[in-house]
Structure 1
């Protein structure tokens, strides 16, 4: 019968997480089985304590009759603080098989309450170091350990961004910790295992602290110190000795402080590092810190502290420069070959005092000059001053840049070509596991997909930013909600958005309004339609994609508050026709010198009102909240009726003759029957009359191809995808883009630029087309009746002569799903992989069961095929887990 295996055991969506909160963990696992149609029928979870002894478990679920293998709740005693727990799972299946126990996994809790913090917030004494000084602070302490160390953990955070050191070594590979949250209400702290870094006798601990998002410059308004004017550190080391005793070393007034080689560090502007000011061994136990300055405690709350939620920010890839360029004006420039986000690590031998300057930019102008106009006030400049002691290596500590090109000044040998092997690009973003891939027969579309992925990497740096290069880099809500489905195909963004949504709820206004950006740094600007709707759309997406009902319940009050805010606006509670709205941002049908497309803003606002009300109703259904189901179900019906009264003529024509208006009416099911048919027909005509070019902006573009494919105009959707002239997705690809542009014509056909005011070349919103590539072109989708791909849909849409194959794979919470199609020898071949403990609905368009074969057999009789029927669209099958190869003659 083959083996039944339990693999990839996770706790709260992560593998062996260190430093969790005290909530009851949720377990997930994946099954492996070569037998088709494998379904779990029962599971058993055991949890052991720190000793890992399952003979004396902390909790044993016993055999639980369930096909659930995600989000399985722990129901044992409440987890204790600073404790490691071990867990394992076994399952039974529908073939009567019992698996062995899985490999043991673990999770370890952090400090779970404010009163467990013995550490004090500290900052340099202003009498010794100016708290407003630009240089990064160094804070340290020496301490003695009296015996053999069994285990050691550090719990640390900072107001600012920090690096932690023990005995001369950096702790962990995280960057820009503790990340960016709504600091006054939520501040992450990190947990580090430092057991191997400590020894009996003298030891040292140190923390390097810079401005970061907390105190540094943010927004194009040149705001500083938005959260506070003093950097501060909080560090607590727990040492457990082999004899069972424990010792705590924590930040307090006995620590000392100084400044060091980082003279200046800002997120937007870069970093200045003087290697001559380095203090070798400053975090070691025997370091002489007699000339360091005192620190003082700072009265800051501990109640806002939360254990790390997001994926940590790390270097995830290194890139070598692709070329050296000497520009027409004589600048020495490195071409990285890829618009990336991160930093350059340089290596040099140079005399002491040599100043090397790196300036970063995304593009060259049409004449080949180094171009920084679109950065606005962001300097994106790094300076390194050599100490003159052999080979030196440096990369910035507390900043990041968005760039493809690097202008280098002052490197020894200036005048000749730069030695490319002395420069390395280090790609930095939240270290999310990759979960999806898409490719097809059209190489330009494959490049588009790569650009989408690189755009996500560059902008998913602790928060979902709009752009990573200019003086902005903010968590725009509209950008996040339009891209969330695409984002979740490419990477596991569950923890990423869980953290961000908690900040959204924290920063939500008392009346339910939602700020334009999260964390909120724009002084009260809030509540545009399609932007504030992130409060509803994103948690619903997290539930649909990952089955995260706990997050849905946690965010439900925030979701309702947003809908109730909308309902309270204006005179008609079912129309949203008041207030400020971004409208169809950057729509190409905008008036001259306007960023806002031609679609009426009240139409957009009311359409999203209806959509979000429906999602809140659906969330209430999933959460079993009957009263809310009734309230928001009725509200949805009333808003839809008001939309039709206001924006649809008696003959069924939309009042606004724009592509986006038609897209929203179709996508949000605001029209039906003959009216829907007319709206879809009119949308197709609007596109055809524009020579198969789009005019949509941020609001309409994400849904455009979806509604065309869903309403009988898939050929038109393909024409839009494959359109190569401006405006189109492939136009930027043909212009050499390696990420997604903010503007369809960021670089115009004549080589000139869109206005410097707002022209990012790494802006992921239009990359939302990726969702359609996965779900429609490749046909890998989820069934709306089951969250987390428990039941998937394989429904490829074929591409005619210009698109002859497509393939997608996605690592769902239940396991890897694959869908592919191609023409082969006069036949159409569709292949699918369905993971164990799931089923899939497979629709093979234009196929009939009498001619359909699966691995050479009649498909209806194939092993694993549960149901089969001919429909008007084609052969429709339900299949269990396994790998399938369907083949049928081309029509």
Structure 2
């Protein structure tokens, strides 16, 4: 019998901000003895030196889920691990592997810093020397958040990249008026005698177009948004001494602008100009925010992360070329058609009269990884566009119906939202040399199965991949039948869940929406919990919807985005998520805290909707119609 699937407070590697600990684990048979059962268990918590700092003592019980203990006292901002020992019916002792967790951070001695707001990707940096030998480190826990989004690079190592996955879009999306997530990292094995931190801050959900109706400007006293970074590194040595690195000028922080990152936006994509470099370092600035107020809403969350699944990188299964200037007239097609030529090898060369069209077979939320080489020394633009479908040549460009180009060309109009506007969903690269250039766009994501490459000078595309992105890493269930169509449907459902669970449950990851429509989130909860290990992810979203400006007045889009008159609606099936989500989480896990924690908010919401003695309600019922 093997123990696996350890969960603490329904999460793997969580940040704990409570002294109530809920432990769960699973079993699988390894010796074909199906009658083995747990008779007793004992839980151990270890510090950074593997010293036992707490144990449950031996408990006679077969229960392996929701084993709850209160008043466990641990130190702030520390990395711990826990393990369970089980005795089976033959009194054999079985130990689980250890599972890491973190405790919350006290931010009192660290403040937010910012840049001069002149760049789409400022990089904050500092250097520090250890006060003692790296081998004498007992523990080293780094807590961080950055808005829009951040990457954490310590000694040239991206700490979000490990085991064939790479974190992106940290710290995740919440209502930044009332909740800003932060993450914690165990950096004990990444420190050396002399250390350098580099933290780029992308536009993300704070500074990008996706937040155009979120009123995040009001967080700043001058009503002007700027990048934010706060960090605290707690290093503890074997001799009991501590060393603390913070963003409060301890040590000195600076930043530089990566000018080659011309722009990055979740809707639009990234623009990279390889002819540009970086600025010299400059002094950081103090953001125009109320530091104590903003620090008070810092909330630990390791469950809002989004990951690139590097091991599932997809190469195109078909490649075509076509001449965009050669449109074939066809009386049956209002917009004509272009002739696709199938390319059977990887000799992918594009020029002014040749566009390349790559087909990946599977529609999904993904990033683009590309390697290319310009065939000239002339300044060249490489335009990489994404799409879900090809045009069928029917429709009117003028009236904005049907196709937006000739048959077989990439369709774009479905990426435009009447609410969010246009999502360019593209990457643009500018070069002026014959070098190989490789780039993986990680400050944005797209929903696509086609990529079209357009250039203004000859370019050789040496490689191009689609990398899936999601907040879900582990399947709960799978089903394979003898029907290929049904298997294809199951696969699409799985990709659909992964593609829509990105930091929060979102709608279409392809177009200019990608927001937390609450009906979309609640109606898929049961399927979502069955398909993938999404309990921690949905637990995070439960925190988000209960920590908005409106609190228990649940709305139709949370966090608030898009046009206020839509986002602020209270509609049956949408805002009811405040009741439905905790109930479904409880039903799936048996953990009553999903209901008890926000029960008072649920009662307030029901009172707001109306009296149970009256058939009339206060729902906004005249907007969504038969949706």
Q: Which has the higher contact order (CA 8 A, sep 6+)?
A: 2
Aligned to 2:193: 200
Aligned to 1:139: 124
* Distance in 1 (alpha carbons) for counterparts of 2:51 and 2:313: 42
1:160-171 map, 5 Å: 160-171=148-159
* Deviates further, 34-43 or 361-370: 34-43
* Distance in 1 (alpha carbons) for counterparts of 2:302 and 2:153: 22
Which aligned segments of 4 or more residues in structure 1 are displaced greater than 6 angstroms?
A: 219-224
* Distance in 1 (alpha carbons) for counterparts of 2:496 and 2:528: 10
- Alignment of 1:385 with 2:430, yes or no, is yes
When residues 6 and 100 of structure 1 are mapped into structure 2, their CA distance, relative to the original with a 3 A threshold, is farther
* Distance in 2 (alpha carbons) for counterparts of 1:462 and 1:75: 29
Gaps of 5+ in 1: 280-288, 586-595, 598-697, 699-891
When residues 176 and 338 of structure 1 are mapped into structure 2, their CA distance, relative to the original with a 3 A threshold, is same
Corresponding residue SS for 1:276: coil
Corresponding residue SS for 2:313: strand
Preserved contact between residue 217 and residue 224 of structure 1 (Cα < 8 Å): no
The answer to which structure has the higher helix fraction is 1
Corresponding residue SS for 1:334: strand
When residues 400 and 6 of structure 1 are mapped into structure 2, their CA distance, relative to the original with a 3 A threshold, is closer
Q: How many matched pairs?
A: 551
Shift of 1:119: 2.3
* Deviates further, 497-506 or 238-247: 238-247
Aligned to 1:121: 112
1:163-217 CA-partner distances (Å, limit 9, x unpaired): 122222322221111110111211111112233333213x221211122111211
Corresponding residue SS for 1:371: coil
Corresponding residue SS for 1:52: coil
- Alignment of 1:214 with 2:206, yes or no, is yes
Shift of 1:422: 0.8
- Alignment of 1:83 with 2:78, yes or no, is yes
* Distance in 1 (alpha carbons) for counterparts of 2:434 and 2:144: 33
* Deviates further, 363-372 or 518-527: 518-527
- Alignment of 1:308 with 2:353, yes or no, is no
* Distance in 2 (alpha carbons) for counterparts of 1:344 and 1:249: 35
- Alignment of 1:546 with 2:606, yes or no, is no
1:803-844 CA-partner distances (Å, limit 9, x unpaired): xxxxxxxxxxxxxxxxxxxxxxxxxxxxxxxxxxxxxxxxxx
Corresponding residue SS for 1:321: coil
Aligned to 2:571: 528
Structure 1 residue aligned with 2:444, among 387, 391, 399?
399
When residues 484 and 468 of structure 1 are mapped into structure 2, their CA distance, relative to the original with a 3 A threshold, is same
Preserved contact between residue 107 and residue 232 of structure 2 (Cα < 8 Å): no
Preserved contact between residue 507 and residue 515 of structure 1 (Cα < 8 Å): no
Aligned to 2:257: 259
Shift of 1:157: 0.5
Corresponding residue SS for 1:471: coil
Aligned to 1:355: 381
Preserved contact between residue 79 and residue 140 of structure 2 (Cα < 8 Å): no
TM-score, normalised via structure 1 length = 0.58
Shift of 1:225: 4.8
When residues 579 and 21 of structure 1 are mapped into structure 2, their CA distance, relative to the original with a 3 A threshold, is closer
Preserved contact between residue 466 and residue 474 of structure 1 (Cα < 8 Å): yes
Preserved contact between residue 345 and residue 425 of structure 1 (Cα < 8 Å): yes
Aligned to 1:806: none
- Alignment of 1:324 with 2:319, yes or no, is yes
When residues 487 and 277 of structure 1 are mapped into structure 2, their CA distance, relative to the original with a 3 A threshold, is same
Aligned to 2:285: 296
* Distance in 1 (alpha carbons) for counterparts of 2:213 and 2:106: 38
1:732-786 CA-partner distances (Å, limit 9, x unpaired): xxxxxxxxxxxxxxxxxxxxxxxxxxxxxxxxxxxxxxxxxxxxxxxxxxxxxxx
Question: If you compute each CA radius of gyration, which structure gives the higher value, 1 or 2?
Answer: 1
Preserved contact between residue 158 and residue 231 of structure 1 (Cα < 8 Å): yes
* Distance in 1 (alpha carbons) for counterparts of 2:442 and 2:34: 51
Gaps of 5+ in 2: 162-166, 323-336, 339-353, 393-406, 417-421
Corresponding residue SS for 1:438: coil
Shift of 1:331: 3.6
* RMSD (CA atoms): 2.7
Shift of 1:122: 0.6
Aligned to 2:555: 515
When residues 352 and 457 of structure 1 are mapped into structure 2, their CA distance, relative to the original with a 3 A threshold, is farther
Preserved contact between residue 305 and residue 471 of structure 2 (Cα < 8 Å): yes
When residues 92 and 342 of structure 1 are mapped into structure 2, their CA distance, relative to the original with a 3 A threshold, is same
1:506-565 CA-partner distances (Å, limit 9, x unpaired): 22736x431111112253622100111111111111111122222221132232222222
1:805-820 map, 5 Å: none
Corresponding residue SS for 2:295: coil
Shift of 1:479: 0.8
1:597-646 CA-partner distances (Å, limit 9, x unpaired): 3xxxxxxxxxxxxxxxxxxxxxxxxxxxxxxxxxxxxxxxxxxxxxxxxx
Aligned to 2:527: 486
